[in-house]
Amino acid sequence: MDANGRWNGDRLHTRRHAHAEVIFTLAPGNQTGTLFEATGSVTYAASGTGADCTLELLPTTLPVIGYLQFAPTLPSPAYLISGGATGLLDHKLSCRNKPPMVISMEAWPWLVVPFQAAPVDAAMIEGTMTVGDATYTWSFARNPLPVATRPRAVTG
């Protein structure tokens, strides 16, 4: 922080956390039964330090947006997930000898999973993946894919 109270580029070392409670329901108009929309909430929290400053985001809960898509007809069945939230997260920045300030930031994604292998009849799908400095861990129960969307063996 400079003498005028502006951030001067000193690095803050932050720890961010997002915990989502989500239900995926069949997307309206989806005839294949492979696209699901997310509803629920995600709670964000963060803290950080750097130079003479601390950054804090008290637990903040926002509604989720996102989707889960299955691709059961690929040679190896797969799924992908994308999840975010709508709203701003107000972080409190406190620096020595300066009045605290609030910094509003868009909510970050709570889960971003590119296509992953999915067993057709698995009751639980879970995984962990690191992208840059973010580690995503997910676990969700699901019903088996409807018989009409399961891959079929070609014979003859």
The three-state secondary structure class of 48 is strand
Residue 18 lies in a domain: yes
Strands (DSSP E) contained in the chain are: 13-26, 35-50, 53-71, 78-85, 88-95, 101-106, 111-117, 124-131, 134-141
Handedness of CA 100, 86, 116, 23 (dihedral sign): positive
- pTM for the complete prediction? 0.74
Residue 40 lies in a domain: yes
Residue 1 lies in a domain: no
Residue 98 lies in a domain: yes
As a whole number of angstroms, the distance between CA 101 and CA 99 comes to 7
How many separate domains does the chain show?
1
**What pLDDT, in 10s, does the model give residues 46-77?**
898 887 889 999 999 999 999 999 888 888 88
Residue 50 lies in a domain: yes
Residue 2 lies in a domain: no
Residue 7 lies in a domain: no
Residue 34 sits in which domain range? 13-147
Residue 154 lies in a domain: no
